[in-house]
Chains A and B, each alone.
Chain A
Amino acid sequence: MARYTLNRIGLGLISLLLLSMMVYAAAQVLPGNPGRLVLGREASPEAVEQFNERLGFDRPLPVRYADWLSDAVRGDFGANYTDGRAVTDDLVPALQRSGLLALYAFVLCVPLSILAGVIAAVRRGKPLDRTITVAGLSLAVIPEFVLGAILVAVFGPAFLNWFPGIAGVLDGLPLLTKLDSLFLPALALALVLFGYIARITRAGTIEALAADYTRTATLKGLSRRRVLTTHVVRNGLLPTIAVVATQVGYLFGGIVAIEKLFGYPGVGLLTLSAAQVKNFPMLLAAVLVIGVIYFVATLLGDLLTAALNPRIRLGAER
């Protein structure tokens, strides 16, 4: 297990390093002249020169990359091109806001989809199973912002008026107000994840239902309810837990569009606005941080899967 873990961490770090190289190079090479880009067409050549010198653009690319990376791993992503503020000043609160939204989405999604998955497995082949499977599969492919817009049209101010259609800045408000404002964006994210988690739960439960220990428990005379709760669900859930962890990273893709739709200033909206004004230090930091979140989440998911599966744990990986 230790060997597998180290191997997995090592490979992940190499991927992250490659990712940082590729995005750094893309961000530096493609814009051409950053000073001209930021200061605009009217700026004097001297001012442009000075800007480039101040930010170190006169040095060779590998040197700049090494500097940037060594700062970045210490948590310093430099300053915005636009207003000179430290990137982390805006990035950290934005990450906290997105974290709350992501957590909320999971809290809404996981119990619901596990329940649906178990029901589908128990009713395997029946219309209810088919409905859950097809609905889950369909929800998983509809873009988050489309689901969000439809949810707002129904539950928002247009019809039922149960929840607001705009989240906005919620800092300092009581948690309950936040949860009320974030309900629809979290639900939109949750619905996209629903099908995937339900499908894995269904598969795990079907396997557990067919297992010998389930038959033994039934033959022992345990009630159907008892067999389901203590034997089937407990074993069927193991793969699901691992899969949920890997979905955290996926969630950060959908969060961009959802944050834009609801005007919620998380890391997705921050990325978008940084892109709009071509504030590459912020953009780089956001991409790298999302990459790290993705890496940690999939690592946890994989390690959990491995811990539960002796075939992987004992090193049969190709």
Chain B
Amino acid sequence: MSENIPTMPVLVDGPPAAQSPLLPHLDSPTRVRRETLKQILRSKTFVLGVIVTVFWVVCAIFGEWIAPYHPIDESFGTFSYESPSWDHPLGLDRNGRDVLSRIIVGARSVIAVAPAAMLLGVGAGSMLGLVMGYFGHWVDNVVGRFLDAVLAIPLIVLAIFVLTALSAGNEGISVSSWQLIVVIGIAFTPPVARTVRSAVLAERDLDYVQAARLRGERSPYIMFAEILPNVTGPIIVEATVRLGYAVFTVATLAFLGYGPQPPSPDWGLQIAEQYADISLAWWAVVFPALAIATLVVAINLIADSVQQVLDE
């Protein structure tokens, strides 16, 4: 950043601070932000990622209006499976339902859960990371051990365990969207907290924090009003990356049976239901699989271009 500053006009008297008005809004935050935004928008991968993501979000919101048929209508065709045709471009599945309509409407169950889970995880993780990084010492150590414990098993295994325990009183497994959001959000908290913590550690000893301490500001004010604005970069990157993982996790859990139940057109559930007959009707499996793949890759392209620009 310092290389952007042109040679300063030398003023013989007056402290360096007095010179800043002479450099008209050179590094003003809004200007830097606008520059960064422009750079991100210029990236082709970002634009591609946004287009695909927006497409699926539109499907998630307006699914029934866009879809040519009703997603759980089983009344097509005399035989259940039917290969892609003019009437049904992506074919019919085992129950004789239109695959295209099911994919369009099926976007909803993922897109309703993943962003909320990400927000919860990034919110709680940032808070925890701020506290750990700012206070350090025993706070950092104790909280750190709990985070490590949660990180010691893979996310999917953790989610299966907690969701099973939550539905222990019921017959079988029943999982609500709220439970999914909370469990995935909590599971996302440790990795976010770690990232934010190390970003805070780099800020903690800088002059502006010392100055705030000397002014007698209270800790919450320093954490949220002084340090937080300076670690938004890593938090934004973390948020975009986590959004991709949230879709990954929600889709995988749905496939494993921890999510919407039949006859829901959820993508992961469709694959689980139709996979056994993949040699008879590949279209009932491949198209939902491609739907999941395009959404996660699109979000990941967004995350990658944001990360590249913010890292520079």
Q: Give chain A's interface residues, CB within 8 Å of chain B.
A: 11-12, 14-16, 18-19, 22-23, 26-27, 30-32, 37, 134, 137-138, 141-147, 149-150, 152-153, 156-159, 165, 249-250, 252-254, 256-257, 260-261, 271-272, 275-276, 278, 283, 286-287, 290-291, 294-295, 318
Q: Point out which of B152, B161, B168 has the most chain A C-beta atoms below 10 A from its C-beta.
A: B152
Are A138 and B145 in contact, with the CB atoms below 8 A?
A: no
Name the residue on B nearest A278 (C-beta): B168
Are B154 and A146 in contact, with the CB atoms below 8 A?
A: no
Are B292 and A146 in contact, with the CB atoms below 8 A?
A: yes
Are A159 and B282 in contact, with the CB atoms below 8 A?
A: yes
Known: A26-B161, A275-B173. A142 touches B297 (CB 8 A): yes
Q: How far does the Cβ of B262 sit from chain A's closest Cβ, in whole Å?
A: 16
From DSSP, what is the main secondary structure of chain A's interface residues?
A: helix
**Cβ-based interface call for B45 (8 A):** yes
| In the complex, per-residue mask of B134-149: 1 if CB is within 8 Å of any chain A CB, else 0 | 0000000000011011
When the two chains form the complex, which single residue of A37, A142, A146, A272 contacts B168, counting CB atoms closer than 8 Å? A37
Name the residue on A nearest B286 (C-beta): A153
Are B256 and A256 in contact, with the CB atoms below 8 A?
A: yes
Q: How far does the Cβ of B193 sit from chain A's closest Cβ, in whole Å?
A: 14
Interface residues on B, range: 35 or more
| In the complex, per-residue mask of B148-164: 1 if CB is within 8 Å of any chain A CB, else 0 | 11111111111011101
Are B285 and A318 in contact, with the CB atoms below 8 A?
A: no
Are A145 and B255 in contact, with the CB atoms below 8 A?
A: yes
CA distance A145 to B148 in the complex (A): 27
CA distance A23 to B164 in the complex (A): 11
Residues on the B chain within 8 Å of A15, using CB: 145, 148-149, 151-152
CA distance A154 to B4 in the complex (A): 52
Known: A145-B271, A146-B293, A152-B278. A257 touches B149 (CB 8 A): no
B 149-203 contacts with A by CB, 8 A:
149-158, 160-162, 164-166, 168-169, 172-173, 201
Residues on the A chain within 8 Å of B146, using CB: 18
Are B165 and A149 in contact, with the CB atoms below 8 A?
A: no
Q: How far does the Cβ of A168 sit from chain B's closest Cβ, in whole Å?
A: 12
Q: Give chain B's interface residues, CB within 8 Å of chain A.
A: 45, 145-146, 148-158, 160-162, 164-166, 168-169, 172-173, 201, 244-245, 248, 251-252, 255-257, 268, 271-272, 275, 278-279, 282, 285-286, 289-290, 292-293, 296-297, 299-301, 304
Q: Point out which of A14, A143, A254 has the most chain B C-beta atoms below 10 A from its C-beta.
A: A143
When the two chains form the complex, which single residue of B145, B155, B161, B248 contacts A23, counting CB atoms closer than 8 Å? B161
* 12 additional A-B residue pairs with CB within 8 Å, beyond A15-B145, A16-B149, A37-B168: A18-B149, A30-B165, A32-B168, A138-B300, A141-B244, A143-B292, A146-B271, A150-B289, A152-B278, A156-B279, A253-B156, A261-B275
Are A137 and B293 in contact, with the CB atoms below 8 A?
A: no
CA distance A147 to B148 in the complex (A): 29
Residues on the B chain within 8 Å of A159, using CB: 282
CA distance A19 to B157 in the complex (A): 13
Are A275 and B279 in contact, with the CB atoms below 8 A?
A: no
Name the residue on B nearest A29 (C-beta): B165
Name the residue on B nearest A41 (C-beta): B171
When the two chains form the complex, which single residue of B157, B162, B271, B300 contacts A252, counting CB atoms closer than 8 Å? B157
Residues on the A chain within 8 Å of B169, using CB: 31-32, 37
Q: How far does the Cβ of B310 sit from chain A's closest Cβ, in whole Å?
A: 16
When the two chains form the complex, which single residue of B164, B255, B271, B289 contacts A283, counting CB atoms closer than 8 Å? B164
When the two chains form the complex, which single residue of A30, A150, A254, A287 contacts B286, counting CB atoms closer than 8 Å? A150
Q: How far does the Cβ of B283 sit from chain A's closest Cβ, in whole Å?
A: 9
Name the residue on A nearest B283 (C-beta): A153
Are B164 and A253 in contact, with the CB atoms below 8 A?
A: no
Are A153 and B244 in contact, with the CB atoms below 8 A?
A: no
When the two chains form the complex, which single residue of A32, A134, A149, A291 contacts B152, counting CB atoms closer than 8 Å? A291
Are A275 and B161 in contact, with the CB atoms below 8 A?
A: yes
Q: How far does the Cβ of A151 sit from chain B's closest Cβ, in whole Å?
A: 10
Are A30 and B166 in contact, with the CB atoms below 8 A?
A: yes
CA distance A189 to B255 in the complex (A): 16
17 contacts between A and B (CB under 8 A): A14-B148, A18-B149, A26-B165, A27-B165, A31-B168, A137-B304, A142-B293, A144-B252, A165-B278, A252-B157, A253-B154, A253-B156, A260-B255, A271-B157, A276-B172, A290-B154, A294-B153
